[in-house]
Structure 1
Amino acid sequence: MAKAHRKLSLLEILKRVVFITIGAILMGVGLELFLVNNSVIDGGITGIAIMVSHLTNLPLGLFILIFNLPFLFIGFKQIGKTFALSTLYGIIVMSVTTQLLHHVHPFTEEKLLAVLFGGILLGAGVGLAIRYGGSLDGTEIVAILVSKKMGMPVGQIIMLVNVFIFSAAGFVFGWDSAMYSMVTYYLATKVIDIVVEGIEESKSVTIISPSYEEISESIMTRLGRSTTYIQARGGYSREETQMVYCVVSRLEVAKLKSIVQEIDPRAFIAIEHVSDVAGGNFAKKDIH
């Protein structure tokens, strides 16, 4: 029998509503007060809405809502009610924000400043929405569903969609604006990563060495990080050994490599990005 989904508590729902609201307002501000009036667009459904709004002189918020509704309906059926409703709420707030700010004079008419600050606001807004269980654009829903059907990575699908959108922007706004839009989108994706994953980026490290016990002890005493032994067997030598596994912050990677190489200069070290760390005893211990 399938396990029932845990219901969100009132506090969790309130927290989700507050942060998705903030995220949607930030995105609306970024669009209307920085990007749209400078002929710079976002990617995804929002980018299409900006171009259609420009060509028809009708409100941007109207098209953002209308163009996203079909994908929200699909998301409701295929991905989940909570995600779809959170996304619908965020898109409504963003649409209303763009409408309220439509006649407000933009903060700057300098395109480079508009790209920088608009991209940061877009990334922060979308990042907050994603972090708290929603989205502000139906492109992610399309990408998730196409990925399930075709086996393509979600990121690759979004990239292909945006290549088409930014190419169309070149014909609508001119190629300078299209290139500025690409820079905005790139900046926004980097800010999204920071907001969703946190500034304190973590790395997982796997170390293979005959001196695994000494290395493990040094990491714990000198870095204050816990380590784990993983049973392994050499593919060539067929000898049983132990791998040392640990998670450190980005700033500690250099020191960890130095510790390992002091003990065994020939040690194998594999370092990978960790998008999130929760539970266990990741918190750093005091070193006396």
Structure 2
Amino acid sequence: MNSYILITCGGIIQGMGMALFLFPNKIPSGGAGGLAVLLNFWFNIPLSFALWLVNFSMLVVAIHWLGNASAIGTMYGITVTSISIHFFDYYIYIPPSIIWVDLVIGSAILGLGVGILLRQNVSNGGMGVLALIIAQLKDIPPGKPLLLINGSIFVLTASIIAWEIIFLAIISQWLSTRIVDLVYKVKITKEVTPVMAWRKK
């Protein structure tokens, strides 16, 4: 139960960073986000559904490599993220801001959400599945493979829509993956309550 509470929090936080700060500036949040932006650009599919569609297609990979439990958690997490994107996009309004401010804030929030998900052995969906598999096989934090995989998709997205996107997207990924690794590696220790020992007089 505690794991699904954390997955819910991670999905909501991730969706917030995307919907309020990155997507309004056409900045892909990652490989899946880049493909979602392309689907929206080509077919005018809502970003929330396009992101869910791309993430859903990676479930077969998640089931094969990460197991049923992780795949179910991943599906739940990306569904929460997509619903959050829809909610924040339609019901929360943030006045236009400087794009670099949105970039930094959105990337930090995105990295926090993704990091929380990965700590539960749940992918944030899309290319995060591949990054988590590589991280487990190589016993490394997932931030670096996530950056490399997403970077190649950014080149494709930028070549189709606008080359300026690639610079913003790579900076966003660099910032967010640093946060991912920090959250992923942080040690959480349970506080031990001292027990009073009573002596018989």
TM-score, structure 2 normalization: 0.80
Q: Match of 2:49, SS?
A: helix
Q: 1:23 to 1:76 in 2, by over 3 A?
A: same
The aligned residue for residue 164 of structure 1 is 152
The aligned residue for residue 71 of structure 2 is 84
Gaps in structure 1 of 5+ consecutive residues: 1-13, 199-275, 280-288
User: Cα deviation per residue 1:201-251 (whole Å; 9 max; x = unaligned)?
Assistant: xxxxxxxxxxxxxxxxxxxxxxxxxxxxxxxxxxxxxxxxxxxxxxxxxxx
* Aligned equivalents of 1:166, 1:106: Cα separation in 2: 26
Count of residues in correspondence between the two structures:
187
Alignment equivalent of 2:88, drawn from 92, 101, 111: 101
* Aligned equivalents of 2:85, 2:188: Cα separation in 1: 36
Q: 1:29 to 1:54 in 2, by over 3 A?
A: farther
* Aligned equivalents of 1:63, 1:27: Cα separation in 2: 16
Q: 1:106 to 1:182 in 2, by over 3 A?
A: farther
User: Cα deviation per residue 1:145-185 (whole Å; 9 max; x = unaligned)?
Assistant: 67999x9x876754443232111232344222220111111
* Aligned equivalents of 1:62, 1:277: Cα separation in 2: 35
* Aligned equivalents of 1:95, 1:183: Cα separation in 2: 23
Contact 2:22 2:106 in 1 (8 A): yes
* Aligned equivalents of 1:67, 1:51: Cα separation in 2: 11
Pairing 1:192–2:195 present: no
Q: 1:69 to 1:115 in 2, by over 3 A?
A: same
Alignment equivalent of 2:55, drawn from 68, 92, 95: 68
Answer 1 or 2: which has greater strand percent.
1
Q: 1:145 to 1:120 in 2, by over 3 A?
A: closer
Whichever residue aligns with residue 13 of structure 2, its letter is: L
* Aligned equivalents of 1:147, 1:113: Cα separation in 2: 31
* Aligned equivalents of 2:84, 2:188: Cα separation in 1: 34
The aligned residue for residue 35 of structure 2 is 48
State the 1:119 CA deviation.
Answer: 0.2
Name which one, 1 or 2, has greater alpha-carbon Rg.
1
Q: 1:52 to 1:85 in 2, by over 3 A?
A: same
Whichever residue aligns with residue 12 of structure 2, its letter is: I
Q: 1:160 to 1:192 in 2, by over 3 A?
A: closer
* Aligned equivalents of 1:101, 1:155: Cα separation in 2: 26
State the 1:141 CA deviation.
Answer: 2.4
- 1:74-223 to 2 correspondences below 5 Å: 74-103=61-90, 104-143=92-131, 158-198=146-186
RMSD: 2.7
Report percent identity of matched pairs: 25
Contact 1:87 1:135 in 2 (8 A): yes
Answer 1 or 2: which has greater helix percent.
2
Contact 1:61 1:96 in 2 (8 A): yes
State the 1:128 CA deviation.
Answer: 0.6
Contact 1:16 1:133 in 2 (8 A): no
State the 1:132 CA deviation.
Answer: 1.9
The aligned residue for residue 30 of structure 1 is 17
- More divergent stretch after superposition (137-146 vs 26-35): 137-146
TM-score, structure 1 normalization: 0.58
State the 1:81 CA deviation.
Answer: 1.2
**Greater relative contact order (CA < 8 Å, ≥ 6 in sequence):** 2
* Aligned equivalents of 2:170, 2:5: Cα separation in 1: 30
